[in-house]
Homo-oligomer: A and B are copies of this chain.
Amino acid sequence: MATRNAIHPHHNLPAAHRHRPPAATTAVHQNFTIGKNSHQKPSNKAIKLAESLSNMLNLHIETTIQRSLNRSTNLNVLSIEEKHNTPAKSPKEDISEKWREIHGSRDWEDLLDPIHPWLRREIVKYGEFAQATYDAFDFDAFSEYCGSCSYNRHKLFAKLGLTESGYKVTKYIYAMSHIDLPQWIEKSRFADTWSKDSNWMGFVAVSDDEESQRIGRRDIAVAWRGTVAPSEWYDNMQRKLEPIGQGDSKVEHGFLSIYTSKSDTTRYNKSSASEQVMLEVKRLINYYQNRSEQVSLTITGHSLGGALALLNAYEAAMNFPNLPISVVSFAAPRVGNIAFRDELYQMGVKTLRVTLKQDVVPRMPGIVFNESLQKFDDFTGTLEWVYTHVGVELKLDVRTSPYLKKGLNLVGFHMLETYLHLVDGFCSSGSCFRVDAKRDVALVNKDCDMLVDELRIPHNWYQLANKGLERNHHGRWVKPKRDPEDIPSPTVESHAGKVFDEMPERYGVGSLYGV
C-alpha cells in the first residue's frame, strides 16, 4: 500500500503547500535532481514496473470514485424551474482596484479558499472563452469545412450568446502537427475540403473599452481548443519529452508539435500556431502600449487546450518580459518537466489550474512519471524526465453539486461545462454548492449525461436541427451552403509576414476589430 500511495498525485496538498511560493518549491525539487546524465531515460525495468503500477492506479481510481460517489443526492435543493426567470450570469463588479491580485500577481493567495466572488466570476469568463472553441467548432465529417470554426470571428460571440463578455475576437488561430497524433484533428471525409492539414485551434480576443475600465487594464485573452477524445488521446500518446527554450526545460512532444508545426504546402499553417498567436499578441500589445494603456495577457484552455495555453504563456513570457501573463486552465494535463515549471515561475507566469477531483485527465501524462516520483528516486534516474504540474490548483469536486449524477462518468467528469458549473457553485473546499449560483445548470448536459434525471434536461442536447439539413421549397432536404462570410480563407485569416506597423491606415482605433 505504501507503494500505491507513493505514486498517487498530490491532489490533496493542504492550502499552505498549494500556495507555496514558486521559488521554495523549486528548491525542494532541485534536491532530487540527482541523475548525472541529464538525458538518461528511465530503464526498461522501471518502465515495466511503472506500467504495471499505472494499471493498478487506474483500477484504484475507478473503484474509489465509484465507492465514494454512490451516495444518494439530496434533491430538495433543486429549484431549477424557479430559476428560469432569473439572470444566468453572476453580476460583474468593478475589479479595477484589485485586478493584479485577481490576475494572480500574488499567486491568488487568500483568494481561492474561500474563493473571492470577483475571481470566481473572472474564471468563468475565461472558461466561457475556452468553451466557445468547442461550441463553434465544425465536427461534421460530411462538411467540407469540418475542422473549422462555423462562424467568422466577427460573429462568433454573438452566435454563442457571449456578446456581453466585453471582448472582441481579433484573430483566429490554426494548428497542424507533423507528428501523427491520435484523435486530435477533425477532418472532412472529402477531398475538396477547406484544409487537409489544419484545424481551427482557438482565437485571440481583446477587452473593449467598457470591460477594460471594469477590469483595470486592456486584457488580451487567448483561448485554446482541446480535443473531444481526451482519454484516447492521453492513453495512446507517446509520452516523450522534448527540449524547449535554452535551458533544461522539456515538454511533451505531442503538445509541442501542435503548437509549433508549420508547412509551406498547407493553406492555414504556413506559419505555426505559435507564430500566429505571437504575431497577433505582439500587434495588440504594441497598439495599446502606444496608447499608454496598461496591458495584460490571459491565456485559457481546457484539456489539450490547457497544455497549449502553458506553452503559449512560456513563449509570451520569453518575448514580453514585463507583461503580466496568467494562465487559467481547466482539466489540463501535465505538460513539462520540473525545469519547465521553474522557468515559468522565474519569468513570473501565473497559472491557475482548475481541476476536478474525479477527472483523470489532469493526472496525464505522467500518471506514473510525475512529481510524486521523488519518493521513487531509486528507479527514476533523473527528474528531468518527470512530468510536473505548474501553478496553483483550484480543486473542484463533483460531490458538492446536487445537480450532478455521482456515478462514474469519465466523459462527464472531464467536460469543461462540468468544470464551469462547479466553479460557479464553488465557495470553499469542503463547503456546499453555492445557493445563489446563477450559471445555467442545463449547460452541463450539452455533450454528456451528468445532470440528475429530476432536472429533465436531455443528455448530449447540443445539436443542430436535422444536423443542419433544411427543407427547400421543393420539400427536399439539403445542406445549405455555408454563409460565404463564414467560409475560412487563408488570405483573410493569415497575418503571416505582416507586422502591425506595415498595416494600412484603416487599422486605426475604430477599425482594430474590423480587418
Contacts and interface: CB of A to CB of B under 8 A. Distances in A.
Interface of A: 83-89, 140, 142, 161, 189-190, 440, 442-443, 453, 456-458, 460-469, 471-472, 474-479
Contacts of A478: 84, 442
Nearest to A440: B476
A142 B86 CA distance: 23
A465 B465 contact: yes
Contact of A461 (B85, B89, B189, B466): B466
Given A461-B467, A465-B465, 8 more contacts: A83-B476, A88-B475, A89-B475, A161-B471, A457-B477, A458-B468, A461-B466, A463-B463
A174 to B, nearest CB: 24
Contacts of A86: 474
A458 to B, nearest CB: 4
7 contacts: A84-B478, A88-B476, A161-B475, A458-B468, A461-B466, A462-B466, A463-B467
Contacts of A89: 475
B87 A477 contact: no
> Which secondary structure dominates where chain A touches chain B?
loop
Contacts of A161: 471, 475
Contacts of A190: 456
B456 A479 contact: yes
A442 B462 contact: no
A83 B476 CA distance: 9
Contacts of A462: 466
A475 to B, nearest CB: 4
B83 A457 contact: no
B463 A465 contact: yes
Contacts of A189: 453
A462 B469 CA distance: 9
Contacts of A475: 87-89, 161, 440
B464 A142 contact: no
Nearest to A475: B88
Contact of A442 (B85, B443, B469): B469
Given A161-B471, A463-B466, A464-B465, A458 B84 contact: no
A481 to B, nearest CB: 11
A457 B442 contact: no
Given A463-B465, A467-B463, A474 B142 contact: no
A474 B88 CA distance: 6
A460 B468 CA distance: 12
Contacts of A479: 456-457
A443 to B, nearest CB: 7
A142 B460 CA distance: 13
Nearest to A83: B476
- 9 residue pairs, one from A and one from B, having the closest CB atoms: A465-B465, A461-B467, A442-B477, A458-B467, A88-B475, A440-B476, A142-B456, A88-B476, A88-B474
Nearest to A144: B456
A86 B478 CA distance: 12
A462 B476 CA distance: 13
Contacts of A460: 467
B461 A87 contact: no
Contact of A84 (B456, B466, B467, B476): B476
A443 B468 CA distance: 14
A327 to B, nearest CB: 27
Contact of A142 (B84, B457, B472, B477): B457
Contacts of A466: 461-463
A165 to B, nearest CB: 12
A84 to B, nearest CB: 5
A457 B468 CA distance: 10
